[in-house]
Chain A
């Protein structure tokens, strides 16, 4: 659905993207996971044709560059900033963005109704967007990307700055988009989000893809062994092992254990192992 091949982008002395390549499959949610400044947003901007790569190519749905108007029609973008007009109502915002995407008449009205319903903003459709809660504004930001029914959605940190309840609501809606057959590229620096909704995750840092795969594959390949933590005589011991059950049985056979737990690797550990840094450093 989206091919990014050998992308390079430099802003002055700063290399934002450094030879990034990625293939996004139709109907999947692909997460771009990386810390702030990793190059995720610049990659998204190149993918939608806002920024011209210094090197490399972008191809959408096998139909060419996203700089072509016909190709742009396939794209829906929810920028990290709240790209909505606060003086307009949700309905007015969606009608406007639908119009600039070429919708009109009954088709426009139907899509606006659908987007309001999808984002659970029907009750607030005529209120000023500026008066909505942060979570509602985020949902409207997402709805504005969907109003023209695009095939490929680029969601850039769509849960930034919202409370856990609103975050859950947004993540549920992104998953729903996959069931509707849409392809989603989802950038985030929250590993929990990537683990929860992404079919595959690309670990990005310094403008490069360090690893790509399903969450399980990434943990298996780069997360390291599970760690068995046991407490004996008030002292806690951490034992990395590929077989925590067998290891625990051996320890129990040797003596009393006050408590134990198994710590399994997560994407944070994957990132730490790949970069030597934590995601939020």
Chain B
């Protein structure tokens, strides 16, 4: 494409995006309606509740005051939903996707809590679904914070600290030789003196510790989620909502193309040095960018507020772009079939509504009876939803993604080709 043509196509695209930004009806069907759909059906299908809180199983094998204290600290932490459990059940819940992680407090945790600055530190086990690494990291931070909190509590209770220092000195004396035994003993003795001082002089003490000593050790284990199915209703209502937004955008652009023809602006464009292909490419590019923006916005909304997690960012991008290509092609076809804005609008919705219904735009694909799932194969909406779900909760492999992406791209290219071939701007 020549540079002048490219500039003109970009001018066409910019004009269409500006017109879209001033068309409240199209904006509503492109953005407002899909969000309403995603949220309404998400809550109808039980997607509400504890969104934003990480569900965690808590397994207490230590059964000491310290482990009970850790449990109450975690339960009081905003953002966590902690349920007591036993080891096998906790692991199973993570495997089934019902919990993001299991925190296991092994025996000896309470005892280790009484050792200060020497010996084996307190130890926790953390089982996390590898698909939820971010939540696992957040949980590690929370657990470390809780451990530090218990140390802080220790130093604000002189009687408890004194007893613990005394026990530590006895343990240290009884322990076999160690390179830093003398220095640790000296430190503990000074700590005893520090604890015996009146509180008002205890401020500003040093934080010295034995070499390499850690307050908490977390043993991290991956427990793969074997659950097949969406993690929440939003996992399938957001792809549905996105497809409604895509349909609204595509039909909006189809109408704008028909409107250009009936109002005469297309005639003006076609008497410019631009070719008909340039004009249609400008319109298609604006439609493509709008659909991509609608998809990005809804996916971001779903990810930030409703727990939608991509299995693969690359595949999610491929799915979103393929959906955009497909519906640009459909937009072109509807624009060709409609002679007036009214007929194009009626025809567009008459075509898209059944395709959306059978394609899983209203009822999730996986709850449809098998015959309906077979019928849904004719609907590009089905392949769009499948591609988006495949890149999120279904966790499709690249070979599994090939079919929906291929169908979407094929429909898009065929629709665009048909539109360009059949489109007539004037009376010719």
| Chain A residues in the interface with B (C-beta under 8 A) | 11, 42, 45, 48-52, 66, 69-70, 72-73, 75, 77, 79-85, 87-88, 92, 96-97, 99-102, 104, 144-145
* B4, B267, B269: most-surrounded residue (chain A CB, <10 A): B267
Contact: B263 with A45, CB < 8 Å?
no
Q: Across the two chains, which residue of chain A brings its CB closest to B282?
A: A100
Say if the beta carbon of B374 comes within 8 Å of chain A. no
Q: Which residues of A contact B15 (CB under 8 A)?
A: 85, 88, 92, 96
Contact: A51 with B8, CB < 8 Å?
no
Say if the beta carbon of B178 comes within 8 Å of chain A. no
Contact: B264 with A69, CB < 8 Å?
no
Q: Which residues of B contact A11 (CB under 8 A)?
A: 427
Say if the beta carbon of B426 comes within 8 Å of chain A. yes
Of A51, A72, A82, A87, which is within 8 A of B273 by CB?
Answer: A72
Say if the beta carbon of B428 comes within 8 Å of chain A. yes
19 A-B residue pairings within 8 Å (CB atoms): A45-B427, A45-B428, A50-B267, A50-B425, A50-B427, A66-B271, A72-B273, A80-B264, A81-B267, A83-B265, A84-B265, A87-B19, A92-B18, A96-B15, A99-B7, A100-B8, A100-B12, A101-B272, A145-B268
Complex Cα gap A72–B274 (Å): 9
Q: Given contacts A50-B425, A75-B271, is CB(A96)–CB(B11) below 8 Å? A: yes
Q: Across the two chains, which residue of chain A brings its CB closest to B428?
A: A51
Complex Cα gap A72–B279 (Å): 15
* B268, B271, B274: most-surrounded residue (chain A CB, <10 A): B271
Q: Given contacts A69-B275, A92-B18, is CB(A45)–CB(B426) below 8 Å? A: yes
Complex Cα gap A102–B272 (Å): 9
Q: Which residues of A contact B19 (CB under 8 A)?
A: 85, 87-88
Cβ proximity bits B304-340 to A, threshold 8 Å, 1 near / 0 not: 0000000000000000000000000000000000000
Q: Across the two chains, which residue of chain A brings its CB closest to B263?
A: A81
User: In the complex, which range does the number of interface residues on chain B fall in?
Assistant: 20 to 34
Q: Which residues of A contact B140 (CB under 8 A)?
A: none
Complex Cα gap A246–B273 (Å): 60
Q: Given contacts A99-B11, A100-B8, A102-B4, is CB(A50)–CB(B426) below 8 Å? A: yes
Say if the beta carbon of B199 comes within 8 Å of chain A. no
Q: How many A-B residue pairs have CB under 8 A?
A: 83
Of A42, A73, A87, A100, which is within 8 A of B269 by CB?
Answer: A100
| Chain B residues in the interface with A (C-beta under 8 A) | 4, 7-8, 11-12, 15, 18-19, 22-23, 262-265, 267-275, 425-428
Contact: B271 with A73, CB < 8 Å?
no
Q: A87-B23, A88-B19, A97-B272 are in contact. List 6 more A-B contacts (CB 8 A).
A: A50-B271, A79-B268, A81-B262, A96-B15, A99-B7, A145-B268
Of B4, B7, B263, B274, which is within 8 A of A82 by CB?
Answer: B263
Q: Which residues of B contact A104 (CB under 8 A)?
A: 7
Contact: B267 with A83, CB < 8 Å?
yes
Contact: B272 with A72, CB < 8 Å?
yes
* A11, A72, A92, A100: most-surrounded residue (chain B CB, <10 A): A100
Q: Which residues of A contact B8 (CB under 8 A)?
A: 99-100, 102
Q: Across the two chains, which residue of chain A brings its CB closest to B9?
A: A100
Q: Which residues of B contact A42 (CB under 8 A)?
A: 427
Complex Cα gap A70–B275 (Å): 11
Query: How far does the Cβ of B26 sit from chain A's closest Cβ, in whole Å?
Result: 11
Complex Cα gap A97–B270 (Å): 11
Contact: A73 with B265, CB < 8 Å?
no
Of B267, B272, B273, which is within 8 A of A79 by CB?
Answer: B267
Query: How far does the Cβ of B311 sit from chain A's closest Cβ, in whole Å?
Result: 41
Complex Cα gap A140–B29 (Å): 31
